[in-house]
Structure 1
């Protein structure tokens, strides 16, 4: 029995080993067939503070099935994606910017078919992270290209360009290139080692030993970073995961700054140096509610001790802690005296430090009461002279006591403050109400910032304070006095504060691109009082030469326009955040959406999608241009009588309706169509108008057992203006917007009106005719729309007035439930008898002679419509 037991245990051990080996083998096989990055190149081209970065990742799928590779591409907070392409089988497929839902829908559709596809969309609540999904076909290689752009901000005397590297694996072919070209001498340059987000891990004295730095001229830099596989795995078997950073600055002076003018657009950089700082009145408003217990309170105390030590002579400060109630540390603001009063300063600081270290947490969060009290304290503590009042407000949660409604809190703060005091707000941790924190800051000339719960939170808080610790000017405004500047195009030109180490940037359009000068004034307040800096800038369009890099010569020549668009979009979105009028807010977003589409930016309003189309698949064609008709089916032609007309793409095999003189009701005929074909509904070469329809198949079958067909896309051209419509979007001259908005859009002499809650578009043509497009979508609740189960469009000629005699095309009728009048039902025989219809002379001057003619495509394609 003992031997049998031993043998049994031995067999069991062997079985376990075999099972483990099998599982290990399966795991190893699964790992070996996962998509693998075999090349990763990152190139950044920085021209005049504007950075263009191209990430090129080459991926191979060694497996036998299509698999999805997911990349979390981390971008700087201020960056916008500008281009996204997939290279498959030697062909390049370029991404199209679309609204978020439409882009995601197209990606999911392509992925379901097993196609290689890519989709870029902004992650919720993570403004510096974009997710890119690539579905890689079996045994296929995909080259993924992502381009993003940002205007580098000057902070603490440095422009910082950050590239995030995290492939999740060592990469055999990895390199990073950074090229910099500036308008002034580059006076400071540093490339630190690869680092993570934690500020505690940063050593400002270290440099990256692998990076090679070249200085071709005093205004240019070229940096190369090519780590070997061994160097990539020095800290982790998974390779590099961190930030590649380049820090630099340029020469600044006391003048009016740099004015860059290229092709009718200007960018004005202003960062004066050597100015004595303004004394400040700072009130620290600190959340000590129950949720701050533990590590967060300790980190807040550490940060406060650092910030108290950064107060300068002449500054005033106080501390307001709040939970359910408010507690002001001292009744009056405490002033930092000169060095001759060092003992008093020490006493004041030491008392504040003691107060901070003894803070305890408890109670609820009354944000409304705390902010109103803080404004009251600063307003009643003002002293003579030029000073900079500011509130540093920190909270880790939502309003849970007192006034809790966000809009009411914002209104109360706005009313009490009247724009006098800048409020800088910090949202500490994942449960902080960042939306409220940011809006409080934006509405009160401040900055909102997230503080992440990590070991370096204290440094994050004190680091933010360092950015705003020294004010050099306040109430700075830029005025461009000459008539050459289009005043409505100028970006933000009034700045409440100018902090040491930062920079103010203004951009706009010139009325006259050939202007020789621009007269400008800069007004503001410094420690010496009000100042005015007036200058006449002589425009010298720079002569660019082609240099090695990512940015082409044509790109460089358009850089002022690109910076203008970038700043305009950013500032419109920021203004929309605090806009109270719903209509104004919608118009702001619409304007930002138009600019995003025009300048190819993925913003919070847009996404970008690219798919590799299958042969014969309808739906992945270019959106901007009508597809060429490759069908041999002859075009159908109908000439119509002027006046009110009837037309439409039917809810099922499209129909057309013909008005016959002497008969009260129009005749209704079937048109047999094929999915993917394009049909000309209307063309008037004299008036310059064309309407083409692309056909799609539906889910249900007709009586022939074939899928019913519908109008899926419309292409309308009116006097060189292009309008493309699907059930998802309307695109006008390349600018795309959704159906969901009720808007009026003026297009030359034409007017486009979206109405009926986004289900109708009325086009009022410049010559008097009116075209109505109706949008039918599947009801999300019942799953149907008029029993069709398919999204489609209908077209109606509401008014025929103004069309010329040269009009031709196929004019379709609506289905029975949409017919404005009853239809006369005909048989094939009757229809054939009416192939050539009457010629009718009208007494109306604008009608003339109308001859109606139609051709029936094929002997058996015309059937009576069952209404």
Structure 2
């Protein structure tokens, strides 16, 4: 009989959420664990819990190559008592990580996990339960949504080992890369070791291992928590960092971190470093047909900015929250640069732009009397009747006035998020037209709230749509959303920020909330470029995101893709900087490099999953399938895939290979060329059921054409552009009138086949993405297969110069994410 009783199917489904810090009262939120500690007995000078197996070895080994980290955690346990015990292996992953491998070694046998589609994995679990097998489906809380947990029953005097591998792209912030490794064995471990091997393509600089962190709260670095890591520089581009605390040091660190010494070390081991930079166009690395482009220019002056703080003072901010907000604003206002400008918006039931020179003259919107009054109103209230103060220069006098006003804010009323953000964007519009000192400033909205909308427009979908619409019509301002408390709708804020070129950060209600906000602001305090675009040669395909509304100093933009048989040509980066238009280019393309293909897959999956959350319903399934196909091909556990652990030889390992093979075929035959033009696939065949075509992955269901047509020479029926257009959009030929005019709900419009319109007009509701630009139909071929009828087209139509029918066209480079 095996030394461990093992009869189960375990499915680990990870739901990736945002984890910023652990709650103040949670001492076990960062876990690489066997189990909790209780009754103890002495053994070799260690107090060991007799109810849990003993961890005799825990090794964490991370290999970082080109900022891409592959980390393996090994935990070996022994049941030293004469009764069966449960061993639990649990780990909280970095929020950006994907699990890519898991093996259990039980009784001399290996049990290897594999990745399956989440719903399929769930069915497998349910079948195991129905057949009488013991099964465990791991449930996770919101806060612990990145947690991986599995347990086995161990026979007396037996051993078990767990090996978990995860991968992540290290994010650059504040001028360095940072890898955070969560450690909490739950007991002192005789052989506890962390080893981080860094192999970069450029010279490593500023390598360090800062003091250990609790993971719960941000604070000043405590020198007593110095890990005393061994930093060994192999050469300019290679280094090894080792952390190997003995039992006594583990107890000291546990005490300093505020946990029970007998529970062992509980904290975060951190490695920070940066690399030497190409000061202009960044560095491009290539390997086997894949490339990655790292862009972090060092010689650009910061853009002056106009930052609008939108502050929630509704009743739910009562107590500690409003106190923390005031402390945070006191810190942040002090960090503004002298050539910046700023505005303050307070909101509750109504919104008010704070007048620094005469606070009593500040006017509430949309009800002018005071914060308490509430009445329904049309969304089309004319802003012209409201006199809002200009933005204020960030000089010492105005900062002092602002701090004084913020310190006197009081809480009251409901939460009108729509009016608050609309007022904030109106201030951006006014600042752009008034231009203090004739300086163009980069607008930024920092929006802080602790609750759901409760006043006037309460639909989060409506607020997202209306605010994004209003923002499209301006010089687009990024919106950064910060949330307080557990009642806030994080998904709403995430979508709102994503669609408005920003991001979200949850601020936990701990003693360090002000520091959390301050740390967030440091990330966005120095914008360097706006409207950044990466342009690559014609051989490049399957690009990740190439357009970035804003780039901040200390961070990094990353683009990855595939290139053809020819050498990759040097890309061009365009943007708007402090001195005007900027054109940059890398100096050299470097080879060889490792991990580039997996890095590309990682980035692509991440961006597909983001796109899935905001895409139209008719595109969500296709985006999900693309993400799932890649996750299966590269064995990444994501929000659309799960790990399944079963007994050896009871599953078919060929399944993943089959998915990979099928995906390769789809890669080249999806009906789109790599430049956005439609080309019918060579194997394009319609399947017929009951006389009607049924759509397949690449086949579009189109209406039956009538036997006659009303199109005349008014649309140049014989022209090549017309033929191509009606081939791609066969319904179009039957809805044009005798004069070649397309009738839409708002009137009749021309196709403009012979027109060249380069107007940069933003629009909403492109066929795959909420935001796009209005383009003539023939100039946006990469969405033709999605416009299956006049009704579908009407949902995405837009008008150019009041006379031409267009379509809301997504960026074709971003669209290439769907054409892998």
- TM bracket (short chain): 0.5 to 0.7
- Residue 454 (structure 1) aligned with residue 510 (structure 2): yes
- Show the counterpart of 2:629: 594
Residues 763-782 of structure 1: CA deviation (Å, up to 9, x unaligned): 99xxxxxxxxxxxxxxxxxx
Distance 2:39 2:91 in 1: 31
1:368 to 394, 418, 422: 418
- Show the counterpart of 1:255: 280
Distance 2:695 2:544 in 1: 33
- Show the counterpart of 1:358: 408
1:576 to 609, 612, 621: 612
- Show the counterpart of 2:332: 307
Question: Contact 1:107–1:611 (CA<8 Å) still a contact in 2?
Answer: no
- Residue 381 (structure 1) aligned with residue 381 (structure 2): no
Residues 814-861 of structure 1: CA deviation (Å, up to 9, x unaligned): xxxxxxxxxxxxxxxxxxxxxxxxxxxxxxxxxxxxxxxxxxxxxxxx
Question: Contact 1:386–1:529 (CA<8 Å) still a contact in 2?
Answer: no
Distance 2:50 2:128 in 1: 25
SS in 2 for 1:590: helix
Distance 1:761 1:531 in 2: 46
- Residue 346 (structure 1) aligned with residue 396 (structure 2): yes
- Show the counterpart of 2:642: 607
Distance 1:185 1:110 in 2: 52
- Residue 195 (structure 1) aligned with residue 213 (structure 2): yes
Return the offset for 1:206.
Answer: 7.0
Structure 1 residues 457 and 137: CA distance shift in structure 2, 3 A? same
Return the offset for 1:477.
Answer: 0.6
Distance 1:114 1:89 in 2: 23
1:123 to 131, 140, 144: 140
Residues 48-72 of structure 1: CA deviation (Å, up to 9, x unaligned): 1000100111123456776543344
Unaligned runs of 5+ residues in structure 2 are 1-37, 256-260, 356-387, 665-679, 699-820
Return the offset for 1:273.
Answer: 0.6
2:244 to 209, 214, 226: 226
SS in 1 for 2:571: strand
Distance 1:210 1:359 in 2: 46
Residues 356-406 of structure 1: CA deviation (Å, up to 9, x unaligned): 111111211111111111111211221254421010001111111111111
Distance 1:461 1:171 in 2: 36
Distance 1:415 1:327 in 2: 22
Distance 1:360 1:48 in 2: 49
- Residue 478 (structure 1) aligned with residue 513 (structure 2): no
1:622 to 651, 674, 681: 651
- Residue 89 (structure 1) aligned with residue 107 (structure 2): yes
Structure 1 residues 24 and 247: CA distance shift in structure 2, 3 A? closer
- Residue 172 (structure 1) aligned with residue 226 (structure 2): no
Structure 1 residues 325 and 208: CA distance shift in structure 2, 3 A? same
- Residue 395 (structure 1) aligned with residue 449 (structure 2): yes
Structure 1 residues 127 and 262: CA distance shift in structure 2, 3 A? farther
Question: Contact 2:208–2:231 (CA<8 Å) still a contact in 1?
Answer: no
Supply the RMSD in Å over aligned alpha carbons. Answer: 3.4
Return the offset for 1:334.
Answer: 3.6
Q: Higher mean Cα deviation, 128-137 or 491-500? A: 128-137
Residues 253-287 of structure 1: CA deviation (Å, up to 9, x unaligned): 32321111000000000111132111101110011
- Show the counterpart of 1:788: none
Distance 2:88 2:213 in 1: 23
- Residue 561 (structure 1) aligned with residue 586 (structure 2): no
Distance 1:570 1:374 in 2: 30
Distance 1:346 1:25 in 2: 60
- Residue 145 (structure 1) aligned with residue 145 (structure 2): no
Structure 1 residues 368 and 456: CA distance shift in structure 2, 3 A? same
Distance 1:444 1:143 in 2: 46
Structure 1 residues 463 and 30: CA distance shift in structure 2, 3 A? closer
Unaligned runs of 5+ residues in structure 1 are 1-22, 338-344, 545-555, 614-619, 627-720, 724-730, 737-745, 765-867
Aligned pairs, number: 594
Residues 751-810 of structure 1: CA deviation (Å, up to 9, x unaligned): 899999xxx99999xxxxxxxxxxxxxxxxxxxxxxxxxxxxxxxxxxxxxxxxxxxxxx
SS in 1 for 2:404: helix
Return the offset for 1:747.
Answer: 12
Residues 714-771 of structure 1: CA deviation (Å, up to 9, x unaligned): xxxxxxx987xxxxxxx684779xxxxxxxxx99959899999xxx99999xxxxxxx
- Residue 443 (structure 1) aligned with residue 499 (structure 2): yes
1:316 to 341, 344, 352: 341
Distance 1:127 1:184 in 2: 36
SS in 1 for 2:506: strand
- Show the counterpart of 1:530: 581
Question: Contact 2:301–2:578 (CA<8 Å) still a contact in 1?
Answer: yes
2:560 to 507, 526, 536: 507
Compare CA radii of gyration and give the structure with the larger one. 1
Return the offset for 1:576.
Answer: 1.4
Distance 2:239 2:184 in 1: 25
Distance 2:397 2:657 in 1: 73
Structure 1 residues 69 and 24: CA distance shift in structure 2, 3 A? closer
Distance 1:464 1:153 in 2: 14
Structure 1 residues 303 and 186: CA distance shift in structure 2, 3 A? same
SS in 1 for 2:464: helix
SS in 1 for 2:570: strand
Question: Contact 2:211–2:222 (CA<8 Å) still a contact in 1?
Answer: no
Residues 306-365 of structure 1: CA deviation (Å, up to 9, x unaligned): 11001112211111111111111023244336xxxxxxx332111111111111112111
- Select the structure with the greater relative contact order (CA < 8 A; seq sep ≥ 6): 2
Return the offset for 1:127.
Answer: 6.9
Question: Contact 1:33–1:62 (CA<8 Å) still a contact in 2?
Answer: no
Return the offset for 1:142.
Answer: 1.9
Structure 1 residues 269 and 300: CA distance shift in structure 2, 3 A? same
- Show the counterpart of 1:60: 78
Distance 1:197 1:230 in 2: 22
Return the offset for 1:574.
Answer: 0.9
Distance 1:277 1:136 in 2: 58
Structure 1 residues 267 and 128: CA distance shift in structure 2, 3 A? farther
Residues 496-537 of structure 1: CA deviation (Å, up to 9, x unaligned): 11111001110000122xx23413111001110012124674
SS in 2 for 1:144: strand
- Show the counterpart of 2:488: 432
Distance 1:541 1:610 in 2: 38
- Show the counterpart of 1:416: 470
- Show the counterpart of 1:803: none
Return the offset for 1:163.
Answer: 0.1
Structure 1 residues 137 and 205: CA distance shift in structure 2, 3 A? closer
Equivalent positions of 1:777-816 (< 5 A) are none
- Residue 496 (structure 1) aligned with residue 514 (structure 2): no
Distance 1:504 1:226 in 2: 34
- Residue 278 (structure 1) aligned with residue 331 (structure 2): no
